[in-house]
Amino acid sequence: MKTRFLFLAALLALLTISCKQQPSAPYGYTVKDNQIVYNVPPRPADQQSMLGFAAEPIEHVRVGVVGLGDRGTGAIWRMPYQEFATVVALCDLYPDRVERAQKVLEDLGAPRAIHEFSGEEGYKQLCELDDIDLVYLAVPWQLHTPIAVYAMEHGKHVAIEVPAATSIQECWDLVNTSERTRKHCMMLENCCYDFFELNCLNMIQQGLFGDIVHVEGSYCHNLDPYWDNYQGDWRMIYNRAHHGDVYPTHGIGPICQDINIHRGDKMDVLVAMDSDAFAGQATADKRYGEGKFEYANGDHTTTMIRTHKGKTILVEHDVVTPRPYSRMYQVVGTKGFANKYPNEGLALGGGDLGEVAYDDLDAEQYMGEAERDAIMEAYKHPIIAELEEVARKVGGHGGMDFIMDYRLFYCLHYGLPLDQDVYDAAEWSCLVELTEVSINHGSMPVVMPDFTRGEWDKIDGLKFATAE
C-alpha cells in the first residue's frame, strides 16, 4: 500500500514538472536544446495585420476613462487641455472616485462627463455605450487586457496604461483582438515622449550616432513612499507573487523605438537574472509582519536581449532599494553615446553636426553642457518643438504625459497610424512573463515570440505620422 502511494506521489510530481514546461497551448512554450521556445500559431483567417493601420478620422474623440485612482485622475487633469478630445464617460470601482473626477473636470471649466459607472463590472456598460470612441484604461495591471479586449469587441479603440499585458496569452489576446476588430490598441508608454529621449531619437534618425550597437533602459524607482496608494494593495500583491521584470515598458519602450523594433529589426533572444529579495522581503515584513508573506520579486532584475540585426539591449528593474530614480536611457552607437540618468550627457565621436559649434569632442568624456544644449536645441524633435511650451504648462511627468495624449488624439482626429501600435504593446509588455520564465528556468535563454508573425521588416523605420 505504502509503495503504491509513493509511486502515485512520484507520478504526480513528474506530471507537475512536465506540465510546468508546457503551459497554456497554443501560445505556450516548450524547452528545446536548453532554450525556451514560444509557439507562434499562424494568423487566423479573419484577422489582418495592424502594421501601419489608420482608422477613419474622428472629428472629436469621445473618451471613456476606466480607473480613476492616481494615474487615471492625472489623466482627467490633463484631458481638458486636449483640443481633439473630451471625456464623456467615467468609471471606477468606487462611485466617490467618479465624483472626484467629475469635480476635477468642473474645476477646470470642462463639461461633466455624461455617463458614470462604478463597481467591478461597470466598465462593461461603459464599453457598450454608443457615444464613445476610445476607452482609456488606468486600472490595476491584471485588468488591462480583459477590459481592453471587451472594449475592442464593442467597437472601441483602446489606450492602455503600462504594462498593457501581464502574460504572453494576454499579449496575443490584444494582438488578435485588435487585428480582428480593426481597432487601435495603444499602450500609453509616456516615457517615449520625454524631451531627452525624443531629441535623441531625432539625432539617431539623422545619423548622429552612426549605427546603434547597444541600448539600455530601466525602471529603478524606490516605491517605499507609494505602496499604500494602490487600491487594494494590487501592486505589492503582484510583486510579492512574481519573479521577473514586472514593469519593463518605461525602460524598454524608448530604446526599442531607437532601434526600430518591428520596423526593420526584432528582438530574438532574452536572458533574465534576478538578485534575491533582500530589500523586498524586508519591505513585506515591515508591511505585513515578519514572515507573513514570502516576497518573490528579486530586488534587482537584469534582462539582456539580442536583436536579429545583432544589437544588444539591457533592461533593469528595481523598486525596493533606496536608490535615486533612474530610467537609464542609454544609447551606444558607432559614432556617439547618450545617457540620461543620473546626468544627461552626450558624446559624439564623428560625423557632420552642421552649423552647431562644439569642442572638447574626444569621445572619452561627455561634451560640455553648453555644447550638449546647443546640439539638443539644433536637433530638437519636431514634436517637442511644436508642443514643448504647452506640455510644460499642462505637465504630467514634466510634460511627456500631455504630449502622449496629444499625439494619440491628434492621430485619431486626422485618421493617421498611431505612434505606438499593438505590436509595440505586446513586445514591450511580454517581458513580464518572459523574464519570469527565464529566471524560473535558471536564467535560460528565451526565443522571443514575434507578434507581427514574420512582418517585422515590412516597415522601414519608425515614423510619427503628421497630417501635413
Q: Which stretches of the chain bind ligand NAD, using CB under 6 A? A: 66-72, 91-94, 97, 120, 122-123, 138-141, 143, 161-162, 188, 190, 229-231
Strand partners, 38: 29
Instruction: Give 93 or 277: the residue with its C-beta nearer to ligand NAD.
Output: 93
Minimal distance, residue 129 CB to ligand NAD, in Å? 15
Instruction: Give 235 or 266: the residue with its C-beta nearer to ligand NAD.
Output: 235
Instruction: Show the beta-strand stretches assigned E in 242-368.
Output: 267-274, 301-307, 312-318, 330-333, 336-339, 345-348
Angle between helices 382-394 and 195-205 (to 10 degrees): 180
Encode burial over 197-230: b for 16+ CB neighbours within 10 A, e otherwise: bbbbbbbbbeebbbebeebbbbbbbbbeeebeeb
> Closest residue (Cβ) to ligand NAD?
69
Minimal distance, residue 140 CB to ligand NAD, in Å? 6
**How far is 270 from 303, CA to CA, in rounded Å?**
7
Minimal distance, residue 122 CB to ligand NAD, in Å? 6
Q: Is 386 helix (H, G, I), strand (E, B) or coil?
A: helix
Instruction: Give 85 or 188: the residue with its C-beta nearer to ligand NAD.
Output: 188
Minimal distance, residue 159 CB to ligand NAD, in Å? 11
285, three cell numbers: 515584513
Instruction: Give 141 or 428: the residue with its C-beta nearer to ligand NAD.
Output: 141
- The DSSP code sequence of 441-459 is TTS--EEPP-TTSS-TTSS
**How far is 271 from 410, CA to CA, in rounded Å?**
38
Instruction: Give 148 or 346: the residue with its C-beta nearer to ligand NAD.
Output: 148
Minimal distance, residue 217 CB to ligand NAD, in Å? 14
**How far is 36 from 419, CA to CA, in rounded Å?**
31
Minimal distance, residue 101 CB to ligand NAD, in Å? 10
Sign of CA dihedral 369, 371, 375, 380: positive
* Cβ–Cβ under 8 Å, residues 346 and 361: no
Minimal distance, residue 115 CB to ligand NAD, in Å? 13
Instruction: Give 67 or 280: the residue with its C-beta nearer to ligand NAD.
Output: 67
How many other C-beta atoms lie within 10 A of the C-beta of residue 122?
Answer: 20
Instruction: Give 98 or 215: the residue with its C-beta nearer to ligand NAD.
Output: 98
Instruction: Give 93 or 259: the residue with its C-beta nearer to ligand NAD.
Output: 93
Region label for 170, one of left (φ > 0), alpha (ψ between -120 and 50) or beta (otherwise): alpha
Minimal distance, residue 245 CB to ligand NAD, in Å? 13
Where is 415: in which H helix or E strand?
none
